Amino acid sequence: MELKKDSNAVSIDMLLIVHSEKRHAAQGAHSDRQADPGAPPQRRGGLQGVGNGIRRWQKLERNDLHGNLAEKQHAQQTQVITSYDNQGTQLTVEVHPQDAMPQLLKKFSLAKRLQGDKNGNTRARQPGGKDAHAYPWDRSSLKSMPLDLRQFEKLDTYASQVTVKSGLDALVSDLLQEAHSDLERVRAIWIWICHHIEYDIEAAQEKDRQAFKPTTILQTQKTNCDGYAGLFERMCRIAGVQCMTVPGYSKGFGYQPGQSFSGEFDHAWNAVFLEGRWHLVDSTWGSGLVDSTTSKFTFLYNEFYFLTHPALFIEDHFPDNKNWQLLKPPQSLRQFENNMYHKSEFYNKGMLSAHPQTSIIKTVNGKVTVTIESCAPTLFMFMLNGKQEHGLLSLRKNGMKLDVYPPTVGTHKLQIFAKGNSEIYSSVLEYTLKCHYADIDVRLPAELHQPVGPSWFSEQMGITKPSHPEPVIYTSDGRCSVSFGVEEGISVLASLHGDDGPVTEETQRRYIFQLQREKRTELKVQLPHAGKFALKIFVKKRQEPGNYVFVFNYLLCCTNSKVNWPVFPESFGNWGQDNELLEPLSGVLPANHNVPFKLKLHGVAKALVKGQDTWPLTLNREGYWEGSCNTAGCQEVYVMVLENANHNFYSYILKYKVNAQ
């Protein structure tokens, strides 16, 4: 072997690398296993939300070391095979016809590619004990090194706007204009790739187009996961930063909770050497998502996969070499398969942990309970088999609790979404439920929306100090009274919903009678029959236009089959919030009866009850208007008030119906 050196390059006549017999045998066995016709079909992976079949990483064809395409003389006769192993070693082999003269002494520019560390080492250091992070995650940070993302704001803006003018070297040179450290160099390259390279869906499905060269990627600005990883590695090495491509398994598109992994690797990512340690990045998953229904890629930057903490990265990335887990202790493939998969949005939205910690859950007496802990108050929602039904989700100060009651025996898909600081709910968890017994007695109203029960959110919306802090209220006689404080300027509206009549849209509010006492609102509720009902609470700022906003609901439960309460009287706009009705509470009065009335009315000069005749009400010493009326000969009875003694105009405030004779 002859080496010729100058200040800028190294020329190699021939380089022959021989692996040990043990390693050779292992690779041969692996190749045989890949070729096994009985092996399971290839999984889809690569990009999150997209399918990707990747060839054996060791077989991917590479280019010359400097990022420009090496010209292949007599391509029809000469074959060039370039490969890298996971220790940073490159092997290039040219296969020539027997009568051809090889062009030796071909120059490769290694000065930038293998610039390596400051000590002049040109071979990437293998990960060791100083690179390992403790497992499980210690909740200290989402990153593998201390980062203040605000320090990258100017650099990120600059890097995202750099355009390709010529080749890869020029692009990297432009990107590094605003980068002054290895960390900033890596950041600039990461940002550019994530904002400019689109996932090539067709290439992900056609194996013969999977090996992408950097110059081709720059031209098309499309590639798949191995192209992303190869481009990232090449650009980092041009920038003088050690970087490795890591192949392995991933929990990407098509992943099913609890599935096993075998056969060919389905993904590739990078390890980059910064500040004396190896760190992990995945520019494929950092760039965006593919809609599985439309097969269209959308750029959607994901910060999570830049220098991700290894204890979090292992949740959806399993490398071919356990050393690239950067974990102590490393995880086995079986552990990777069985461990709960928290999506990146789980951590982006501020989640800390979830229970159960297994992705497949068996019901206990027809019920499954899931809890999530978050670092800040967060809004959640769930879907069981694509519908927001059959569950009770209650918010906690730092998390949530969800009780799910699958309606049938079998397998069910449970998805949990979180809102975080954005206006969009994102999927953060997915469970597979195995139900061997369905409790038909736990049938929840279809109108029972989430969340159930008061929480930090209802307090934020102006409802405080509830009389019933728990989400479920049990009543033996079909009646209950719920009260809570209401901030000044807030109006409250409530409605009752059940799956069986007679609660119709017209009577949803008639089974609730709302009273205002000082700064508290009381809701008197009478159920029309036994069963389960959703008591929904809405609020609105009085001085602002628009509709009432749903805040939360209670689940009301009654098992007394004798319950048969009528509606409350219908109230009109002039029924003041501070008014109080003591009797009659039933909105349906008996025919041909004398019915007593007793109310507390504020700011009223006169009050009367009008049926077939008119009966005045008198104000007693306790401040209540009292009197009675006879329901003979009438179908409706009204309570009317005169607010100004100088006027003769009475206003309707309550309406009763009279039973037919």
Residues with a known catalytic role = 225, 267, 282
In the block, residue with structure tokens 């006492």: 517
Cβ–Cβ < 8 Å for 606, 645: yes
State whether the Cα torsion 590-592-598-603 is positive or negative.
positive
Indicate the length of the chain as a whole number. Answer: 661
The contacts of residue 244 (CB under 8 Å, 6+ apart) are 86, 88, 124, 233, 270, 271, 272, 278, 324
Cα separation, 84 vs 208, in Å, equals 20
Question: What torsion do the CA atoms of 570, 576, 581, 587 make, to the nearest 10 degrees?
Answer: 0
Task: Please name the helix (run of DSSP H) or strand (run of DSSP E) that holds residue 384, with its range, or none.
Answer: strand 380-384
* Cβ burial, residue 38 (10 Å; 0-12/13-18/19+): exposed
Task: Please name the helix (run of DSSP H) or strand (run of DSSP E) that holds residue 158, with its range, or none.
Answer: helix 153-161
* Cβ burial, residue 624 (10 Å; 0-12/13-18/19+): middle
State whether the Cα torsion 571-543-465-420 is positive or negative.
positive
> Three-state SS for 391?
strand
List the structure tokens of 23: 């390693």
At residue 396's C-alpha, the angle toward residues 512 and 461, to 5°, is: 50
Cβ–Cβ < 8 Å for 40, 249: no
Q: Spell 269-308 as b/e; 16+ CB within 10 A means b.
A: bbbbbbeebbbbbbbbbbbbbbeeeeeebeeeebbbbbbb
Cα separation, 430 vs 343, in Å, equals 9
Cβ–Cβ < 8 Å for 351, 374: yes
Cα separation, 479 vs 64, in Å, equals 81
List the structure tokens of 339: 């461990």
